[in-house]
Amino acid sequence: MTQKLKLEELGRIDVETFKKTTKIPVIIILDNIRSMHNVGAVFRTADAFLIEKIILCGITPVPPHREIHKAALGATESVDWQYYRSVKEAVLYLKTLQYEVLGIEQTTDSVSITEYEINHHKKYALVLGNEVEGISDEILPCCDGFLEIPQHGTKHSLNVSVCSGIVMWEFYRNIFGK
């Protein structure tokens, strides 16, 4: 009979071990995210998929905060993060470090994430935008490309934390599996 695994059977690592673990070369940039719950959920997912770092920009709330912690469940301690007042400054800096900057946005030039060829030799910075406005117009010309998640229902948008989870999983499985 199938049984749920107990916590001690899950093979969890501690924060110190996590910090030393090799991460996938992906940075998540949160561009003016309003919801602390969304920020916390992104941290928790970034921990699960060994994301290198999260960059919080603009009005995006930063840890420590009780509401972020509720969703993050301690991932703000394990996942490295930085704050930039300007998303453009963060994007331009990462480009100098040879990151390919991809906006997760529906644009006239976006490519389905299922058709995008993820190169495990590259470093990626993935920009996720505000819950209402999407990514900032000022950084559209700074992005090297745009990815979107195929959707076929009546709504053509996903909650930013759900979107980030899908995108992080796609990069994780393509990079970590190589």
pLDDT in tens, 152-171: 999 989 999 999 999 999 99
- 177: confidence class by pLDDT, cuts 50, 70, 90: confident
Q: For the residues 15-28, what does the mean pLDDT come to?
A: 97
Using DSSP's 3-state secondary structure scheme, residue 173 falls into helix
The residue among 44, 148, 32 whose CA lies nearest residue 87 is 32
The pTM assigned to this predicted structure is 0.96
Residue 139 has pLDDT above 90, yes or no: yes
Q: For the residues 85-108, what does the mean pLDDT come to?
A: 98
Residue 116 has pLDDT above 80, yes or no: yes
Q: What's residue 7's pLDDT?
A: 86
What does the DSSP 8-state code read for residue 87? H
CA dist list (Å): 4 to 7, 9, 47, 115, 155: 9, 10, 22, 35, 34
Within 10 A of 66 (CB to CB), how many other CB atoms are there?
Answer: 8
Q: What's residue 178's pLDDT?
A: 63
Structure tokens given for 89: 């400054």
